Amino acid sequence: MSKKEAELRQVTEQLNNLRGEHETLKTEHQQLANDKTVVTEQLRAEQDLCAETEEVWFRLKYTKFKIVFLFII
């Protein structure tokens, strides 16, 4: 095997290794993007739930205020 053939084989192996790494990174990137989407949806749902909870809390405070006010009168 000549020196050029050995160099070509080495470069080809490196190329194949890099292609494999690229595919692995591409797959990992896609999985992370999917995970981000799921987490974003979960965060949005939690924010909505928090807003609903605050709304209920304020209504309860208002109801308590009305009850206390009625007892004062």
- How high is the pLDDT of residue 72? 82
* Cα–Cα dist 56/65, whole Å: 14
* Contacts for 9 with CB less than 8 Å, ≥ 6 apart: 1
Q: pLDDT, tens digit, for every residue of 4-34?
A: 999 999 999 999 999 999 999 999 999 999 9
- Only one residue has tokens 């309860």, namely 60
Q: Distance between CA 41 and CA 8 in Å, rounded? A: 49
Domain boundaries, the chain: 1-73
